[in-house]
Amino acid sequence: MFMEYDPAVYSRILTGLTLGFHIIFATIGVGIPLMIALAEWMGIRKNDPHYRLLARRWARGFVVTVAVGVVTGTAIGLQLSLLWPNFMQLAGQTISLPLFMEVFAFFFEAIFLGIYLYTWDRFKSRMKHFLLIIPVVIGASFSAFFITTVNSFMNAPQGFELVNGVITDIDPIAAMFNPATPTKTAHVIITCYLTSAFVLGMIGAFKILKGDRHVYHKKALHLTMMSAFVFSIATVVIGDLSGKYLAEYQPEKLAAAEWHFETEEEAPLVLGGYLENDGEIKYAMEIPYALSILAHGTPGAEVIGLDQFPDEDTPPLIVHYFFDGMVFIGMYLAFVSMIYLLLSWKKQQLMHSKVLLWSIVAGGPLSILAIELGWVFAEIGRQPWILYGIMRTPEGATTSDHVDAMLYLFIGLYAILGLSCSIVLKKMFNNNPAAHELEQRGVEDRGERT
Amino acid sequence: MSYEIIGISVLWFFLYGYLIVASVDFGAGFFHFYNKVSHKNYQVNKLIQRYLSPVWEVTNVFLVFFFVGIIGFFPDTAYYYGTALLVPGSISIVLIAIRGSYYAFNTYGSKDSKIYSFLYGMSGLLIPASFTIVLTISEGSYLDISNGNVTLMLGELLTSGYSWSVVFLAIVSVLFISASFLTYYAYKAGDAASYWLFRRYTLFWSIPTILASVLIFFAIRHHNPEHFSSMLDISWMFILSLLFFLAAMFFIYKKRHLGTAFILVMLQFFSAWFGYGASHLPYLLYPHLTIYDGFVNETMAIALIMAFFAGLLLLIPSLYLLMRLFLFDADYIQGNK
């Protein structure tokens, strides 16, 4: 291979690969149950079979993605101990509680998802069936919450004393509700909702673009874009709070993300750009005061720069690109869903214009890309630490000789799983279009085609 | 009772839960594939799918529960097992991933595929075999622990009679447990053809299961005499296990009380499993790691046990609902719902 064998490096790549693959499925796994619940709820409230079919079809596609989410989640769960045994030996003392509770939340979700999927026509009361998706939504969001508290702990470890390398005096609640927990969990959960809304909105928009003018797709688009707008506003607010969190607790992460080299007041925000080898920033846009506002809420505030930290404690400067990519996409999603909403309110003849529909279609993959970028930023941004301020990443890694071979094994596995999953999903819906299923179910066509 | 004992008992109990539900699941996957290629009685496969579909996710959680729990209660296991098991553990992950995904692709996708069925049927049989490595190395003398480094002696493991007899027991037990459950399930569903088929499978797989159990009993004597002598101290548990087995076979042979027969099979494995586990104590990894030297701090242990009971309060009613709606609802089993 092109690099020397170093188990820590390969462990990082393999963990990154597994998580990078897993979060695609995990994100929609957290968000889609909420969207299904919304659709079914609308179906019952408005007594509209289109919404109910929407819930049904989303649920059907959802199970296939859940399967991949479950197995890759199992993979990362095991890999934590296989690839980072020294880290788990130390941190296992404190993170096992949230890990344990995450499994409970997921257990709860799994039981009710099984029931929900197989009881569509079983109860006389539609409400009864709707109630079954509620525990799925709760379980999904809570498992995201608990697992994110583990990650928060790695960023802001607390709730224990470290005496001669041994963790003592443990307070599990303090460890779980560390300073990073509120912003991290809120940001993760809300962006899961946002991404899921856009991924589902993409399907509706794509169908309409392909000439399927069925009202079913229009209703799907409307529901998803309305939700996406609400979620994107919440995302922006929480994103701002996350910036303030970083400024206070992990200033070097924020400084690296913003290429903010020198501590100063009235700090400008660097957007985009390119960093030359000599440390010159080229082609960037600078917004005066914006970083001070982002970090502390006032334009005159002092923002700590990278000059305050020794080199071996600072994250790589590449995180700037990830951070900016995430922010740009977040803004884009908010903008597109807002335009859709405005048009549907004031200028209905334009709401299905080609440009807007294509922008929504692009929003699907872009939102997933933003999830990846944001996650890579958060993870690489806390390098060189695996436990911030306590354990450096290489100290936590395995010493085994075969991590490289395992990396290739998993690259193969994820390639095959990803490919099969997309083939199966594609076939599932192409072989059975919505209009066909509506007819089959005896839902009358009440002349709503336009 | 000390927290260590509570902790390991809880985990052992969950692993037992996994052993039963996963065996039913894995065995059914294999039978599904086997019946498909031998064109036997397509109705059987529909029956298998009706049982499995609502529960496959739940099965997986039992496993995750165990390995998260063991790191929680005994963080030192992460160091020993984590380092040693990188390769076999990764292979298990790959098998689990193939099994779970292709099961879902085959069941929920637009059409039933022979390749997908093969993938999840065969991987299901290999998963238990790959897991047994953990049990095998816990008996000691397969790990090289020196210079602060843990290495698995793969050569020793692959040439050891003991490790192969555990693999053999795992595979035949899966088929046996699964067949005995499906015998009962088919009977409840009023599906005579499936019932006869699974009854035959059960009787057939009972023989290697019991032979392998006896074989292992003596293989341990050779491999780890200390463990063997503590097994003899609680030999009543293994004798009880044998009695449960004989009673279960009697009922299935006589075509009577099939539900009870399956419960007896569960008890057979329960007593053997706990007998094996109890006699293995206090070692988690013989002779390097006991439950006492690798235990989590006390605050965390209490928190984990509390979380565990709170979780059970949530799970037991939910599992009861799941069973009521699917496993024990005659109309559902018969395909009317």
DSSP characters over A43-73: HHHTT-HHHHHHHHHHHHHHHHHHHHHHHHH
Confidence at B336, pLDDT banded by 50, 70, 90: low
Tell whether B68 is within 8 A of chain A (Cβ): yes
The verdict on A99 touching B (C-beta cutoff 8 Å) is yes
ipTM, 2 decimals?
0.83
Phi/psi at A284 (5° precision) = -95, 155
* B273/A397: higher pLDDT: B273
Indicate the residue type of B234: I
Q: Does B3 touch chain A (CB under 8 A)?
A: no
CA dihedral A143, A145, A150, A156 (to 10 degrees): 180
Q: Which domain holds residue B306?
A: 3-333
For residue A101, list chain B residues with Cβ-Cβ distance below 8 A. Answer: 307, 311
Q: How far apart are the C-alpha atoms of A6 and A404, rounded to whole Å? A: 9
Interchain contact, A424 vs B60, CB within 8 Å: no
- Which residues of chain B does A134 touch, with a Cβ-Cβ cutoff of 8 Å? none
> Given a cut of 70, is residue A221 above it in pLDDT?
yes
CB contact under 8 A, B322 and A111: yes
Whether residues B110 and A424 touch (CB distance < 8 A) is answered with: yes
Q: Each residue of B274-306: pLDDT tens digit?
A: 888 888 777 777 777 777 876 777 777 888 888
Are residues A100 and B83, on separate chains, in Cβ contact within 8 Å? no
Residue B53 confidence (pLDDT): 66
The percentage of residues in chain A with a pLDDT greater than 70, rounded to a whole number, is 97
Rg over CA atoms, chain B = 20
Q: How confident is the model at residue A133 (pLDDT cuts 50, 70, 90)?
A: very high
8 Å CB contact of B58 and A67: no
Nearest to A25 by CA among A187, A203, A144: A144
In eight-state DSSP terms, residue B82 is I
When divided into structural domains, chain B yields a total of: 1
User: Is the CB of A100 inside 8 Å of chain B's CB atoms?
Assistant: yes
Residues on chain B touching A170 (C-beta within 8 angstroms): 297, 299-300
Q: What is the per-residue pLDDT across A37-47, written as a single tens digit (0 to 9) for each?
A: 999 999 899 88
How much is the pLDDT for A18?
93
Interface test with A, best of B50, B77, B300 (most A CBs within 10 A): B300
DSSP helix/strand/coil, A287: strand
Mean pLDDT of A339-345: 88
As a whole number, mean pLDDT of residues B111-134 equals 84
By mean pLDDT, which of A313-317, A436-440, B195-199, B231-235 is the weakest?
Answer: A436-440
Which residues in chain B are closer than 8 Å to A88, comparing Cβ atoms? 71, 75, 78-79, 82
Q: What residues contact A112, with CB distance under 8 A and at least 6 apart?
A: A132, A133, A135, A136, A139, B318
Q: Nearest Cβ partner of A417 from B87, B97, B297? A: B97
Averaged pLDDT, B9-13: 85
pLDDT in tens, B298-334: 777 888 888 888 877 877 787 778 777 776 666 666 6
- Based on C-alpha coordinates, what's the Rg of chain A? 23
A415 touches chain B (CB under 8 A): no
Which chain B residue lies closest to A118 (C-alpha atoms)?
B54
- Pairs of residues, one from chain A and one from chain B, whose beta carbons lie less than 8 Å apart: 223
Question: Has residue A449 got a pLDDT over 70?
Answer: no
Domain boundaries, chain A: 21-247+318-440
* Highest-scoring range by mean pLDDT, A29-33, A171-175, A383-387: A29-33
CA-to-CA distance for B231 and B228, rounded, in angstroms? 5
Q: How far is A405 from chain B (nearest CA, A)?
A: 9
pLDDT greater than 80 at residue B229: yes
- Chain A residues with CB-CB distance to B336 below 8 A: none
**Contact flag B72-A96 (C-beta cutoff 8 Å):** yes
Interface test with B, best of A80, A87, A111 (most B CBs within 10 A): A111
Contact across the interface for A79 and B101, Cβ inside 8 Å = no
If contacts are CB pairs under 8 Å, which of residues 6-65 in chain A contact chain B? 60, 63-64
- The whole-number pLDDT of residue A214 equals 79
Indicate which of A5, A71, A177 best probes the interface with B, i.e. most B CBs within 10 Å of its own CB: A71
pLDDT of residue B327: 67
Q: How far is CA B203 from CA A445, B176, B252, B269, B319, in A?
A: 56, 8, 8, 16, 30
Token readout for B274 is 């706990």
Beta-carbon separation of B109 and A424 below 8 A: yes
List beta partners, residue B120.
none
Q: What is the DSSP letter of A311?
A: G
- Tokens representing B213 are 């159990």
Token pair of A387, please? 């436990």
Q: Report the C-alpha gap between A397 and A392 in whole angstroms.
A: 10
CA B2 to chain centre: 27
Give exposure, A77-108, as e/b (b: 16+ Cβ within 10 Å): bbbbbbbbbbbbbbbbbbbbbbbbbbbbbbbb
* For residue A447, pLDDT beyond 50: no
Do B86 and A400 lie within an 8 Å CB cutoff? yes
A96 to chain B: which residues are within 8 Å by CB? 68-69, 71-73, 75, 296, 300, 304
Structure tokens of A173?
């609640």
By C-alpha distance, the chain A residue nearest B309 is A104
Mean model confidence pLDDT for chain A: 85
H helical segments located in A210-281: 215-249, 251-258
Chain A residue numbers with beta carbons less than 8 Å from the beta carbon of B300 are 93-94, 96-97, 170, 172
* Stretch A221-226: mean pLDDT: 92
Distance CA A336, CA A5 (A): 46
pLDDT at position A121 over 80: no
Interface of A with B in 112-151 (CB under 8 A): 112-115, 117-119, 122, 135
Residue B89 CA to residue B84 CA, distance in Å, equals 9
Phi, psi of A432 (to 5 degrees): -145, 75
Give yes or no for residue A252 having a pLDDT over 90.
Answer: no
**Per-residue pLDDT reduced to its tens digit, B85-116:** 888 889 989 998 888 888 888 877 767 778 88
